[in-house]
Each structure stands twice: as structure tokens, then as C-alpha cells.
Copies of this chain bind each other. A is one copy, B any other.
């Protein structure tokens, strides 16, 4: 594993543990096992490191979901597979998911370019629009429906990480939530 990845990994761990503040670049370098100066060879500033970390984590998540999305034109099936895989990824990558949450509610989020966000959300909005056009999903604003689904995902995650559950319980709860969600929007 090369130094850049080691730095990213160390930063992720420390940011979630101590916040963006409270994490000195020197501590990141130390945790990564590289010299202070090496960090700045890969990332010009601390902010650049934070942004790069966000992009890296988001790509990682998107890749997983993409791979596990049902290849079908059945809207419900596609949506369910996305809902499930989002949650599976989150539960398997708690630290990364915490970082995303932390980043989203921090002032850094304002520095992410609008079209990058747009590109990530677009496929989901299209899928919802598709469902509405087919008369499956209620005729509500697409991004309103998207907000509901996103927050629902977040809600189940919160619940499932608040107590110790078995894999089976987690799976069942996720399936059950999707059914509730689907009933709500159709």
C-alpha cells in the first residue's frame, strides 16, 4: 500500500475520532507512519486532504452500490437493491459513513462543487422520475421523494447502530423498512 493511501486511511480514522479540528496534520503523518513533509507532497494543504478524503470515500460507496444495483427495468427492484446496498455498505463501513455525515454537516460541504453533487444525485432522481412516469410512484416533486428516501436510509442506519443486532436482524429490519417506504411513496 502506498504512502498516499496510508495518509488517507490515517486521516479518516483521526478525523472521525477527534473531528477536523483536534486533528493536526502532524498527528496524521505520525499515524500513517510517514514524515511530516511527505503529507504535504501529496496534499498541498490540510483542506485539500479533507476534500480528497471525501471524494475517495464517496467513490468507494458509489462503486459498491453500483456493483450491487439490480440490472433491471423494474423500478421497485432497482430501488430496493440500491436501498439495501446503501445500508449494507454503511453498516460495513461505519467509520467512513460517520466521516460522510460529519463532512455533510460541516462547512466543508459548501466547498464541493455543485455539479459534482448534481452528478451523484442525478441517477437517483431519474429512477424516481421513471417510477412516477410509469404511474408507480405518487406524483410528488422528484427531489422531495429523494429527500424522503435518503433520510429514511439515514434513520434505519441510526437505529441499527444504536444497539447490537445480528446480521439477520439487520437484514430483516432493512427489508421491512423498504416495504414501509415503498408503501409510503406509491
- Give A residues with C-beta under 8 Å from B: 16-22, 98, 101-102, 104-108, 143-144, 147-148, 150-152, 154-156, 158-159, 162, 173, 177, 180-181, 183-185
Contact among B18, B147, B154, B159 with A156 in the assembled complex (CB-CB below 8 Å): B147
CB distance from A2 to the nearest CB of B (A): 28
Q: Is the interface of A mostly helix, strand, loop or mixed?
A: helix
**A107→B18 contact, CB < 8 A:** yes
Contact among B101, B159, B183, B185 with A105 in the assembled complex (CB-CB below 8 Å): B101
Which B residues are in CB contact (< 8 Å) with A151? 151-152, 154-156, 158
Which B residues are in CB contact (< 8 Å) with A22? 21, 107
Nearest neighbor of A102 in chain B, beta-carbon distance: B105
**Smallest CB-CB A-B distances: 4 pairs:** A21-B21, A151-B155, A147-B159, A151-B151
